[in-house]
Structure 1
Amino acid sequence: MNRAFKYLLTGFTAMVLLSCKSTKSVYVFTSFHEPANEGLRFLYSYDAYHWNDLNHIYLKPEVGDAKIMRDPSICQGPDGTFHLVWTTGWKDDKGIGHASSKDLVHWSPEEHIDVMGYEPTAKNAWAPELFYDDEAGQYIIVWASCIPFRFPKGEEPEDNNHRLYYTTTKDFKTFAPTKLFLDPGFSVIDAEILKRGKNDYVLVMKDNTRPNRNILVAFASNPLGPYHDYSKRFTELFSEGPSAIKAGDNWLIYYDSYRLKRYGAMRTTDFKTFTDIADSVKVPEGHKHGTIFKVSKKVLAGLKQAAGQP
């Protein structure tokens, strides 16, 4: 082989490898531990199946009367900023928490967004989930709230008959008035919007009714709905907090199987048939309801450094 050509080929190969290495992303799973008073934790994975605990608190809860952080949901915007929302109280708290970060280590001052303050009898604002609508150029925040005697109830008491609500924002400074997001005819919580393609969205949620308390999906052509074609419940009883991510050709749906005291996982390609892969995944003990997203290896390196890990 010509020496000059060999040198060029070697250099080109090195550039390709360097480029692949620098752009390769890893999966991060937001987390908290009960009783939820410590703050934001992270897990990470290179394959979305086997998770490692960074074992570090990155943000301590400071807003809301209860000073807790449950159900942390993170979404990265087009400007690279990560936005975090979370549950700040079990009951008698009509707001949610918000903070932002460029690197997941250094955070802005925390804010308490009073999303249900306009409803005098609202009991809560649970498990806010963030979704960035790239077609409308706005963030959608969806959460569950209970307003007693507002909706027909099944076997639930009036203070546990939830529906989904939402607001939108472009800058987390001004927010659209809260509106009803979904009334499926039953108590529903823990909803996450997924985008499969243009005009193709999936809503993963928990049926919170007493006979069920497990996970299902529905479909829409717009992230704000209307959602239709509700699936059968495809997880065991007493499961909640679904978090989904696409890994290769598959979608993985993780959920907290709280009666079995473990994390469950389902795999699907079409959200119609689901395969139980709980025995094939590894989730650290103590991990609770979060969301999964991708970050660069540089961001992961910063998380590890802050946690004192090599």
Structure 2
Amino acid sequence: MNKPTNHKALLILISFLLILQSCSQKAEEHNSSEEKAQEEEIYLFTTFKEPKNEGLYLAFSFDGYHWEDLGGVFLPAEVGQSKIMRDPSVTKGPDGTYHMVWTTDWKGGNGFGYARTKDFINWSPQQFIPAMEFEPSVVNVWAPEIYYDDEDDQFIVIWASTIPHRFERGEEEEDNNHRMYYLTTKDFKEFSETKLFIDPGFSIIDAVIVKRAPQDYVLVLKDNTRPMRNLKVAFGKSPIGPYENISEPYTSFLTEGPTVVNKDGEWIIYYDSYGDKSYSAVVTSDFREFVNIGEKLSFPEGHKHGTITTISKEILENLKEISKNKSNANDTE
């Protein structure tokens, strides 16, 4: 008479164990995804130091506010007439490869540098991309900024160049009246024709493309006119513009080199406050109202502006090991 009851109890026990196992698997998956997300949220800042002919410097942060120097040069400057590495800009492609562009010449160059890496230790051969070679009177190619356009699966590189007597100017000299140009590529082997990116009617450098949503883009830029030399924003429906409704400045005189991170539903715009030789930042939720958070930021002395990307814990540990080995080697010399 007890057999049916025992059978029913056994079924209940099996069901309970199956539910428990399922919950355990879901918890493990959740923890695994959280751990993976945390690993991917280690911030890496690609920077340079004066006199800018040494190469790539790196700093890292777990919270986006407190940055630590990784020490030493992780990629020496090898291309361009002057062989400098200034304004290193990095973006991560869809396959996890990091692509970097940089300024190779302060004056006289007609292109920018390019290299790629998976770990910031092993790099592809450096390329010099002569993006402005068709303009024989071009003065410079400054601060190239690389952006991955996920809508069209391509990379967009924008930069500032001066072509004397090409555009109207204010107080600027003819060799310091910049406009932004761009090209696109899918593989850094074949490139589109270089085109004018934006002419806002004033000298402009250090522009950064930010995607908020499909057909909703912000251009963070420096108004480089002599009276201004500070940061503004403009708005567009495409990563290549047109960008309109340029804002009033939201940083002080002598600020440049912005880079932007989306964190906790807000946007942090880091920038080089070179007038007072410090690094600072503002936070915004809508790119219309900005709150200065410079007092919350700590940044290694001597590092200059670049861009911020994210890396895994494994990459960070390997970079730390490389840095430690360099330090030990210097101590024994």
TM-score (norm 2): 0.89
Match of 1:22 in 2: 36
Shift, 1:22, TM fit:
2.8
Q: Secondary structure at the match of 1:245?
A: strand
How many Å separate the matches in 2 of 1:282 and 1:264?
9
How many Å separate the matches in 1 of 2:276 and 2:35?
39
Shift, 1:102, TM fit:
1.4
How many Å separate the matches in 2 of 1:10 and 1:304?
35
Are 2:178 and 1:162 aligned? yes
The residue correspondences of 1:127-276 to structure 2 (distance < 5 A) are 127-276=143-292
Shift, 1:7, TM fit:
8.0
Structure 2 residue ranges without an equivalent (≥5): 1-12, 326-333
Q: Secondary structure at the match of 2:89?
A: strand
Paired AA for residue 252 in structure 1: I
Shift, 1:208, TM fit:
0.2
1:5-60 CA-to-partner distances (Å, cap 9, x unmatched) read 89846676455334321332211111111011111111111111111111121100
More helix by share: 2
Alignment check: 8 A CA contact 1:97 1:111 kept = yes
Shift, 1:281, TM fit:
1.0
Give the greater-gyration-radius structure (CA).
Answer: 2
1:213-247 CA-to-partner distances (Å, cap 9, x unmatched) read 00000000000100011111010000010111111
Deviates more, 1:20-29 or 1:82-91: 20-29
Equivalenced residue count is 308
Alignment check: 8 A CA contact 1:22 1:297 kept = no
Question: Aligned match of 2:312 in 287, 296, 299?
Answer: 296
C-alpha distance 17-68 of structure 1, shift in aligned 2 (>3 A): same
Structure 1 residue ranges without an equivalent (≥5): none
How many Å separate the matches in 2 of 1:6 and 1:198?
41
Q: Secondary structure at the match of 2:175?
A: helix
Question: Aligned match of 1:123 in 109, 121, 139?
Answer: 139
Deviates more, 1:297-306 or 1:50-59: 297-306
Percent of residue pairs identical: 51
Alignment check: 8 A CA contact 1:47 1:247 kept = no
Paired AA for residue 34 in structure 2: C
